[in-house]
Amino acid sequence: MKANTLKILGFCLAPVAVLTLTACGGAETPDAQTTPINSAPAATKTAATQTAAAVAVDPMARGAKLYKRCQSCHSLEQGGRHKVGPNLWAIYGAVPGSKEGFKYSAAMSSMDIVWNDETLSGYLENPRKYLPGGKMAFAGLRKAEDRDAILAYIKAQTTPAP
Ligand code: HEC
């Protein structure tokens, strides 16, 4: 800033013509004012872009972020309480509708599959289409990369240590 001002001053003072001096004086004021005003939002934008970039490259971070859409209804930790939906501890390898103490829909209780990447991805893509008569009120994650990220996160959080 200081160096800039000196430069402008030097540039302005060099020509002898009074007209030039006036023109430079006029130009300097808006310049000095706009610099700090512009730099603040620019810095904020950079920080936001960096966070978004980190989430995009790190599926775990992305999965954790996406999981916020589930957490009002589900807990992940061992012994976590059932909410509107069942606790999801050890969901991988489980038969749908098998968590004790949760009242599932008849549709989910009678599903004859095992939860794995493929079946969970199918369910989360469009719960109502995958399981007509199911009672999970969630619209679904249409993007495959969103499902991959959230499942990587859920798997890491809910799989018991060997
Ligand atoms: C509005 C509440 C709600 C939201 C939001 C929700 N769920 Fe559910 N979820 C439920 C309910 C209720 C059930 C039981 C469905 C049934 O019985 O038909 C369920 C069932 C499940 C099951 C099967 C559990 C089992 O024991 O077989 C999985 C897996 C699941 N949800 C994952 C998710 C994930 C992942 C998200 C976020 C992307 C999510 N849910 C969002 C309410 C919700």
Residues 49 and 13 grouped into a single domain: yes
Mean pLDDT of all residues belonging to the chain: 79
Residues touching ligand 1 (Cβ under 6 Å) are: 69-70, 72-74, 84-86, 88, 91, 96-99, 104-105, 107-108, 120, 124, 134-138, 141, 150, 154
The pLDDT > 70 percentage for the chain reads 65
Provide the pLDDT for residue 41: 47
Q: Which atom of ligand 1 is nearest to the CA of 134?
A: 18
Tell me which of 120 and 45 has the higher pLDDT: 120
Q: Which of 23, 38, 57 finishes a domain?
A: 57
Residues 52 and 66 grouped into a single domain: no
What is the CATH number for 82? 1.10.760.10
Q: How confident is the model at residue 122 (pLDDT cuts 50, 70, 90)?
A: very high
Residues 110 and 88 grouped into a single domain: yes
pLDDT in tens, 20-66: 344 444 444 444 444 444 444 444 455 566 666 666 668 899 999 99
pTM of the predicted model as reported, rounded to 2 decimal places: 0.74
Provide the pLDDT for residue 59: 83
- Tokens 């493929």, residue located: 118
Give the Cα separation of 145 and 12 in Å (integer): 57
Q: Which of 17, 41, 57 finishes a domain?
A: 57
Residues 87 and 23 grouped into a single domain: no
Residues 19 and 93 grouped into a single domain: no
Give the Cα separation of 1 and 43 in Å (integer): 17
**Gyration radius (Cα) of the chain, Å:** 29
Domain of 138, in residue numbers: 61-158
Mean pLDDT calculated for residue range 106-112 = 98
Which residue's CA lies nearest to atom 2 of ligand 1? Answer: 73
DSSP state of 77: S
Provide the pLDDT for residue 76: 98
Which residue's CA lies nearest to atom 1 of ligand 1? Answer: 137
Mean pLDDT calculated for residue range 96-102 = 98
Report the domain count for the chain. 2
Residues 66 and 145 grouped into a single domain: yes
